[in-house]
Amino acid sequence: MREREAGRQRRRAREFETFVAGAAGRLLHTATLLTAEPVRPPGTNERAQRLLTSALARTYADWDRLHGEDPYNRTRQDLATRFAREAWRHHRPLGGLLDRLTPQERLVLVLRLYEGVAEEQTAALLGLPAERIRATLNRSVATMRGTREPTARRRPARPLGAAP
């Protein structure tokens, strides 16, 4: 009995290690975009690494309960949720390219354009109407193109995705 459980745990660990080896680079890049950390030498994007480590730990804890669900989608969803929850905290601007956007604008831009998440899925993930996702994306793109002034840095009235 113990041997069977030990074998199951080894298999689980190998599967997770394989997943991390294939997905960690893209997920770290996504986390770096969300935190708006500037491009620096590898290993210096501390906030993004903390965010990703938390999301991967949650995915590993739920690994046996995924039942065919895509672990990449689960981890990306956890990244977005964790970022949205802590976005209300004040973080000093880090000088990254996306630092000109509010946390909500950054989250929508990264999910929609970089990750390719559908508008309806993004709306459901953040608990916002699809029209608001569309407007936020348009505002974000206009800011990045320089056709709109960056939004003043302000703290959201409530954490992103929280019930009103």
Q: Can you give the pLDDT at residue 67? A: 81
Band of residue 164 on the pLDDT scale cut at 50, 70, 90: very low
The rounded mean pLDDT for the chain is 84
Sign of CA dihedral 109, 16, 85, 90: negative
What's the chain's Rg over C-alpha atoms?
17
Helices marked H in the chain: 2-35, 46-61, 71-86, 103-109, 119-126, 130-145
Using the predicted structure, report yes or no on whether residue 114 has a pLDDT greater than 60: yes
What is the mean pLDDT of the segment spanning 101-129?
Answer: 93
Q: Is 119 helix (H, G, I), strand (E, B) or coil?
A: helix
Using the predicted structure, report yes or no on whether residue 157 has a pLDDT greater than 50: no
Comparing 109 with 152, the larger pLDDT belongs to: 109
The number of residues in the chain equals 164
Distance from C-alpha of 111 to C-alpha of 140, rounded to nearest angstrom = 12
Q: Is 152 helix (H, G, I), strand (E, B) or coil?
A: coil
Global pTM value: 0.75
Band of residue 150 on the pLDDT scale cut at 50, 70, 90: low
- Residues 54-98: tens digit of each pLDDT: 999 999 999 989 888 999 999 999 999 999 888 766 565 566 678
State both tokens at 124: 């459901």
Comparing 19 with 96, the larger pLDDT belongs to: 19
Domain definitions of the chain by residue range? 2-145
Classified by CATH at the fold level, domain 2-145 comes out as Butyryl-CoA Dehydrogenase, subunit A; domain 3 (1.20.140)
Using the predicted structure, report yes or no on whether residue 120 has a pLDDT greater than 90: yes
